[in-house]
């Protein structure tokens, strides 16, 4: 199995003082698939500026995440037979890039199968790495285990630099900058053979793709003779598309539902990982998605059985060659963002509830205070001197009771009408009365 530590071990050697790349060849191809110029260089003899630029390209062709940008691809069985692509690559490697016919075949194979609109540069590096023995604690000892001889190929787009103003030394003025064809970072590439657990694996190659949304599956199969493998991003996007196609017509917020599904898948993956920790396995198996797991994930959802069956059927058709790894289907950042939004919404709801409770409590306290003040004033002894300043009639009551007061004229006499409820208490000048219905 391809490991990060193996890739890093190779990349650490791509420095001036430790680089052992013996030869570099290449071919510049235009948009019409014509070979414009070919390169054939002894790598260590390059001028420093060129040396470091090419070395940077070599590093880029081994960069990214394993399973997403870097894929370990196995050759089809027939490609390991005489005349197969694996046998051809073995011959190219053994030639040390010194056989023009084998190089031309590589260029033609890429040109015929690489689907790209525009100019590009094919680069091939040849290297022999003397792999030193390591102890169990990763300490090197001065003894060689094997010599890892390999080819590293990088296909780089070549684009015109952006137009703009610049200093024209030939005219000694600011003018339109001369546009150049600039070699960019690799779009795709491969390492043959793979370097697995610090050893040569001639039955596979390590494939690099810059944009994990498109692994160029046709190029993998036709040019390299390997079984195509989706990147983690492709597995995620394909499965998400299958689910959204099935639930979009029946679920208003299909994106939210998709996040919920991913959370359930993530929980299952974590449970699987925890169970695997208790087992001693030489090579742990990937936890892959099955139709049974899909059924389990949708068991408690509002998705109808017919839609779940549709998802299962499309999943079987799309992933018939290789089931996806469950972890690849989970967007951890989206789940984290969704959980954060849920917490924020819950917090806002709690704050709103507390505000309402505080408002209700404040209003209740104000009403009680008003009632107490009324009772105190009505029951306090009357000061004769103070009473002189009173109006002939002085009333104090609750606000809701005051709203019921009416003024009426009966037989020419004005009256203040105060509606009274049964058993309602009245305190008149300190004398308390209870209104009772006339019939009681």
- Whether 229 shows a pLDDT value over 60: the answer reads yes
Determine the pLDDT at residue 182: 93
- Give the pLDDT confidence score for residue 417 in this predicted structure: 85
Question: Is residue 49 situated within a structural domain?
Answer: yes
CA distances to 106, 148, 319 from 192, in Å: 13, 10, 27
Domain of 241, in residue numbers:
231-330
Are both 202 and 125 inside the same structural domain?
A: yes
Structure tokens at 91: 């011959």
90 compared with 253, residue with greater pLDDT: 90
Give the tens place of pLDDT for each residue, 53-94: 999 999 999 999 999 999 999 999 999 999 999 999 999 999
Q: Which residues of 383-422 are buried (b: 16+ CB within 10 A; e: fewer)?
A: eeeeeeeeeeeeeebeeeeeeeeeeeeeeeeeeeeeeeee
Q: What is the pLDDT of residues 309-346, one digit of tens each?
A: 999 999 999 998 889 999 999 887 877 777 777 787 88
The answer to whether residues 1 and 122 belong to one domain is yes
The closest of 122, 143, 166 to 24, measured between CA atoms, is: 122
Quote the CA–CA distance of 237 and 215 in Å, as a whole number.
13
pLDDT of residue 275: 82
Per-residue pLDDT tens over the stretch 256-269: 888 888 889 988 98
Residue 135 falls inside a structural domain: yes
User: Could you tell me which of 307, 233, 312 has the C-alpha nearest to residue 69?
Assistant: 233
Which residues are registered as beta bridge partners of 41? 24
Q: What integer pLDDT is reported at residue 393 of this predicted model?
A: 66
In a domain, 165, yes or no: yes
The reply to whether 300 and 153 lie within a common domain is: no
More confident residue, 257 or 370: 257
> Among residues of the chain, what percentage have pLDDT more than 70?
88
375 vs 372: CA distance, rounded Å? 5
Q: Which of 148-162, 287-301, 334-348, 369-383 has the lowest mean pLDDT?
A: 369-383
Judge if 77 and 108 occupy the same domain.
yes
Question: In a 10 Å sphere around its CB, with 0-12 CB exposed, 13-18 middle and 19+ buried, how is residue 58 labelled?
Answer: buried
**Terminal-to-terminal C-alpha distance of the chain:** 97
* 142, containing H or E segment: strand 140-160
Per-residue pLDDT, 440: 39
For residues 56 and 19, is the Cβ–Cβ distance under 8 A?
no
Residues 425 and 282 in one domain: no
Predicted local distance difference test score (pLDDT) of residue 270: 87
Q: Which of 229, 254, 278 is the last residue of a domain?
A: 229
In a domain? residue 355: no
Residue 88 lies in a domain: yes
Does residue 253 share a domain with residue 152?
A: no
Q: What one-character-per-residue DSSP string does 77-137 give?
A: GGGGSTTSHHHHHHHHHHHTT--HHHHHHHHHHHHHH---SSEEEEEEEEEEEEEEEE-TT
Q: Residue 287 — φ and ψ, nearest 5°?
A: -85, 105
More confident call, 154 vs 286 = 154
Residue 342 lies in a domain: no
Residue 363 in tokens:
């209003």
pLDDT surpasses 90 at 9: yes
**Do residues 11 and 151 both lie within one domain?**
yes
DSSP 293-351: HHHHHTTTSS--HHHHHHHHHHHHHHTSSSPPBGGGG--HHHHHHHHHHHHHHHHHHHH
> Per the domain annotation, does 131 fall within a domain?
yes
Residue 284 has pLDDT above 70, yes or no: no
Per-residue confidence (pLDDT) for residue 140, from 0 to 100: 61
* pLDDT classification of 139: cutoffs 50, 70, 90: low
Q: What whole-number distance in Å separates Cα of residue 47 and Cα of residue 55?
A: 12
Query: Could you tell me how far CA 339 lies from the centroid of its own chain?
Result: 14
Measured between alpha carbons, how far is residue 228 from residues 100, 193, 212, 328 in Å?
Answer: 29, 17, 14, 17
User: 126-135, 202-211, 273-282, 361-370: which has the minimum mean pLDDT?
Assistant: 273-282
Same domain, 176 and 38: yes
Write out pLDDT tens, residues 230-243. 999 999 999 999 99
- The domain tally of the chain equals 3
Contact 218, 227 (CB under 8 A): no
**Are residues 325 and 287 in contact, defined by beta-carbon separation less than 8 angstroms?**
yes
Residue 382 token pair:
């009357």
Inform me whether the pLDDT recorded for 285 exceeds 70: yes
Range name among 103-117, 258-272, 389-403 with the lowest pLDDT average:
389-403
> In the prediction, which pLDDT does 301 show?
79
- pLDDT classification of 128: cutoffs 50, 70, 90: very high
- Same domain for 186 and 148, yes or no, is yes
Task: Please tell me the predicted confidence (pLDDT) of residue 77.
Answer: 93
Q: What is the mean pLDDT of the chain?
A: 86
Is 60 part of any domain? yes
**Whether pLDDT at 289 is above 70:** yes
Average pLDDT score over residue span 281-294: 79
Those residues with Cβ within 8 angstroms of residue 348's Cβ, 6 or more apart along the chain or in another chain: none
- Mean pLDDT value of segment 379-383: 55
Highest mean pLDDT among 129-133, 144-148, 165-169, 404-408: 129-133
Query: 146 and 189: one domain?
Result: yes
Angle between helix 332-379 and helix 254-277 axes, rounded to 10 deg: 110
Answer yes or no: do 282 and 402 share one domain: no
Residue 378 pLDDT > 60: no
pLDDT of residue 384: 59
How far is it, in rounded angstroms, from Cα 341 to Cα 315? 30
pLDDT of 387 over the 70 cut = no
Residue 438 has pLDDT above 50, yes or no: no
**Position 216 pLDDT exceeds 50:** yes
Residues 80 and 136 in one domain: yes
Confidence of residue 394 (pLDDT cuts 50, 70, 90): low
């Amino acid at each position: 199995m391809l490991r990060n530590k193996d890739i890093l071990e190779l990349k650490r050697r791509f420095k001036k003082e430790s680089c052992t790349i013996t030869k570099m060849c290449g071919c510049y191809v235009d948009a019409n698939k014509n070979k414009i110029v070919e390169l054939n260089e002894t790598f260590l003899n390059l001028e420093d500026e060129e040396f470091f630029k090419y070395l940077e390209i070599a590093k880029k062709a081994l960069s990214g995440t394993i399973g997403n940008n870097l894929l370990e691809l196995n050759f089809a069985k027939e490609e390991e037979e005489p005349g197969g692509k694996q046998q051809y690559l073995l011959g190219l490697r053994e030639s040390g890039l010194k056989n023009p016919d084998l190089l031309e075949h590589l260029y033609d194979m890429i040109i015929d199968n690489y689907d790209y609109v525009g100019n590009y540069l094919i680069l091939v590096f040849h290297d022999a790495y003397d792999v030193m023995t390591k102890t169990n604690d990763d300490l090197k000892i001065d003894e060689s285990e094997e010599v890892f001889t390999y080819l590293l190929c990088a296909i780089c787009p070549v684009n015109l630099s952006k137009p703009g103003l610049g200093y024209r030394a030939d005219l000694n003025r600011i003018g339109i900058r001369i546009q150049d064809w600039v070699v960019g970072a690799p779009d795709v590439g491969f390492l043959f053979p793979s370097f697995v657990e610090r050893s040569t694996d001639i039955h596979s190659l390590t494939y690099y793709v810059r944009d994990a949304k498109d692994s160029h599956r046709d190029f993998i199969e036709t040019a390299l003779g390997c079984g195509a493998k989706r990147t983690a991003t492709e597995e995620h996007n394909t499965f998400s598309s299958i689910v959204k196609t099935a639930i979009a017509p029946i679920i208003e917020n299909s994106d939210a539902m998709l996040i919920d599904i991913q959370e359930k898948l993530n929980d299952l993956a974590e449970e699987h990982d925890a169970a695997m920790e208790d087992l001693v396995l030489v090579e742990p198996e990937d936890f892959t998605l099955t139709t049974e797991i899909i059924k389990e994930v949708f068991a408690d959802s509002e998705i109808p059985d017919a839609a779940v069956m549709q998802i299962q059927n499309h999943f079987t058709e799309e992933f018939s060659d290789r089931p996806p790894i469950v972890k690849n289907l989970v967007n951890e950042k989206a789940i984290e963002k969704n959980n954060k939004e849920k917490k924020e919404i819950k917090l806002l709801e709690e704050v709103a509830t507390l505000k309402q409770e505080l408002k209700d409590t404040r209003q209740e306290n104000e009403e009680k205070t008003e009632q107490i003040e009324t009772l105190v004033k009505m029951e306090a002894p009357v000061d004769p001197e103070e009473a002189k300043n009173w109006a002939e009639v002085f009333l104090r009551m609750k606000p809701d009771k005051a709203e019921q007061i009416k003024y009426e004229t009966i037989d020419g006499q004005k009256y203040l009408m105060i509606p009274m409820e049964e058993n309602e208490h009245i305190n008149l000048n300190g004398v308390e009365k209870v209104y009772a219905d006339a019939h009681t």
